Amino acid sequence: MDETLKLWRELTRSFAPDVSLAGDDSRFVDIDQDFAGVRGENTQARLIEICRRAEASEAIHLLLAGPRGAGKSSELRHAVARLEAEGFTTLYIDAQDTLEIGVASYADVLVLLYAALFDKLREAVPDFRTSLRSLERVQQDFKEFFHEALGDWEPAKPVLGVFKAAASRFQTDCERIMSHESRLRANLNNLLQDSNLLLASRKNGNGLVIVLDGLDKLPPDRIDPVFGRPDLLCSLQTKLIMTAPISYVYSPDLQHWRNSGGREPLVMPMICLREGIGAQAQPTSSGGMAMRTVVQTRLESIEGSPSEQDIFAEGVLDRAILMSGGHLRGLFRLIVETIPRSAQLPIPMEALDRTIREEEIALNRVVQDDWWELLREFREPRKDRPTDDDHSLLLYLQLIHYYRNGWEGYEVNPILKGLPRMSPSP
């Protein structure tokens, strides 16, 4: 294979926008540790401390929110690896791999936890069938309530694989599941408590932590079916960490979560490229240097470890960082979309400019006519935003970015700033 073509392919793979890093991936950059403050507080460290300082039997219900593509999944996978190293048993579930997110509901979450926990126990505790008194009731639930979807499933078979294959059938039977919700939840809680005691006795007394990722990608019309009954979610007797849409965490509905006993959510915002709310965004700011370090770490993982200067012409990476607005996935997308527009290395500015223009065209199609006036309010950073549905949707669609860096604020996606309709009204 031509060496240049091989390098192009490795670059595309290394900067794939939608791939999160495993907990032990050497390309992981601990941004909050190495560049303190560019995303506010260190969310991973706080998450781990919350788990460490709780009793093994204590239930915790914690939300992690932030824009899609900000790095939550990579941070969670790294946190899971650290918790395992401290003696916890962790169960990481990516809801996107199992549920049809576009039609998900609380009932699906309940069944998913049921299935994933059953399979985790099979893996972690060889004699779990004789060690857990509550297991028989769980197996009976699967046979009684999910027989149609599970077919000829027997307790000796893994559940989660069958659940994935039959997700649509589970998700069309939510009414039936919810009619037995209290019984299912009670039996699940018995299993959670028994499992936690068993696992704590075998692994330094730290017990079980369940991480349910992917729920931050719920579309606006599915947030209420999943999070609309926080009293039910917060009654689950385990340490449960879930991702959630940032628009939910910054809506009045969050008060129901708090009133139900949920912990104060952790928020992972965009990386701030300003040193203060009145300062200009700079690629040389602490946040800009954090993003550059992420890029350099990815380059070092490629055969031959090409340098930034080998790949990007002067000023190209600086401009890409600024136009990403501190959004890691946005930066990776700009790089990956620019690669096929470049005839040679280093990538010239003209190729990046063409990509930015295409991004402008794409976002221009997304923005509805009555949104432009709202977006113009955020041409410069501001410390607050209205909590109405329209502004929440702009945040969900990442047309407005959220930052914390010694200050809390909102600003329009930089790609939009180049469009004529973002100019102040006459």
Mean pLDDT of 310-336: 97
| Percent of the chain predicted with pLDDT > 90 | 56
Single out the residue of 46, 118, 125, 114 nearest to residue 82, CA to CA.
46
Which residue in 18, 21, 42 sits closest to 31, CA to CA? Answer: 42
pLDDT surpasses 60 at 149: no
Cis geometry, peptide bond prior to residue 225 (ω within 30 degrees of 0): no
Which 3 state secondary structure label does DSSP give 378?
Answer: coil
DSSP string, 120-179: HHHHH-TTHHHH-TTHHHHHHHHHHHSHHHHTT--TTS-SHHHHHHTHHHHHT-HHHHHH
Give me the chain's average pLDDT, please. 87
Backbone phi, then psi, for 344, in 5-degree steps? -150, 170
Across the beta sheet with 208-213, the strand order is: 89-94, 208-213, 239-244, 60-65, 266-267
Give long-range contacts, CB 8 A cutoff, 24+ apart: 283-288. 283/317, 283/318, 283/319, 283/321, 283/322, 286/35, 286/37, 286/38, 287/35, 287/38, 287/326, 287/405, 288/318, 288/321, 288/322
Q: Which residues contact 40 (CB under 8 A, 6 or more apart)?
A: 267, 269, 404, 405, 408
Model confidence band, residue 258 (pLDDT cutoffs 50, 70, 90):
very high
The better pLDDT of the pair 289, 142 is held by 289
pLDDT of residue 244: 95
Neighbours of 154 (CB within 10 A): 9
What's the distance, CA 211 to chain centroid? 11
| Residue pair 32/397 in contact by the 8 Å Cβ criterion | no
**Helices assigned H by DSSP within 260-413:** 286-300, 308-311, 316-324, 328-338, 349-366, 372-376, 389-396
Cα–Cα distance measured from residue 192 to residue 161, given in angstroms and rounded to the nearest whole number: 21
Side-chain half-sphere CA neighbours of 137 within 13 A: 14
Is the CB of residue 344 less than 8 Å from the CB of residue 312? no
Least confident span in 61-65, 94-98, 119-123, 214-218: 119-123
390 vs 247: CA distance, rounded Å: 10
Q: Cα-Cα-Cα-Cα dihedral of 292, 295, 296, 301, to 10°?
A: 170
410's enclosing H/E stretch is: strand 408-412
For the cut 80, the answer to whether the pLDDT of residue 169 exceeds it is no
> Cβ-count burial of 300 within 10 angstroms (0-12 exposed, 13-18 middle, 19+ buried)?
middle
Across residues 320-330, what is the average pLDDT? 97
Whether the model pTM is above 0.75: yes
**Structural contact between residues 273 and 281, judged by C-beta atoms closer than 8 angstroms:** yes
Residue in 225, 220, 294, 234 with CA at minimum distance from that of residue 26: 294
User: Residue 342: is its pLDDT beyond 60?
Assistant: yes
pLDDT category at 413 given cuts 50, 70, 90 is very high
The answer, yes or no, to whether residue 153 has pLDDT greater than 80, is no
Q: Write the burial class of residue 259 (CB in 10 Å: 0-12 exposed, 13-18 middle, 19+ buried).
A: exposed
Residue 168: the pLDDT is: 52
Amino acid at the residue 404: R
Residues 228-250, mean pLDDT to the nearest whole number = 93
Q: What is the mean pLDDT of residues 71-98?
A: 92
Rg, Å, the chain Cα set: 23
Nearest to 211 by CA among 55, 329, 103, 63: 63
Amino acid letter at 321?
I
Q: How far apart are CA 179 and CA 382, in angstroms?
A: 46
- The reported pLDDT for the residue numbered 157 is 52
At residue 231, what is the residue type? D
Distance CA 167, CA 160 (A): 10
The mean pLDDT value for 73-100 works out to: 91
Residue 3: other Cβ atoms inside 10 A: 9
Q: Which residue has the higher pLDDT, 159 or 248?
A: 248
Band the pLDDT of 186: cuts 50, 70, 90: confident
What three-state secondary structure class fits 243?
strand
Mean pLDDT in residue range 31-52? 93
* Portion of the chain with pLDDT greater than 70, in percent: 89
Domains of the chain with bracketed CATH: 3-15+271-417 (no CATH), 41-267 (3.40.50)
* pLDDT, greater one: 143 or 79: 79
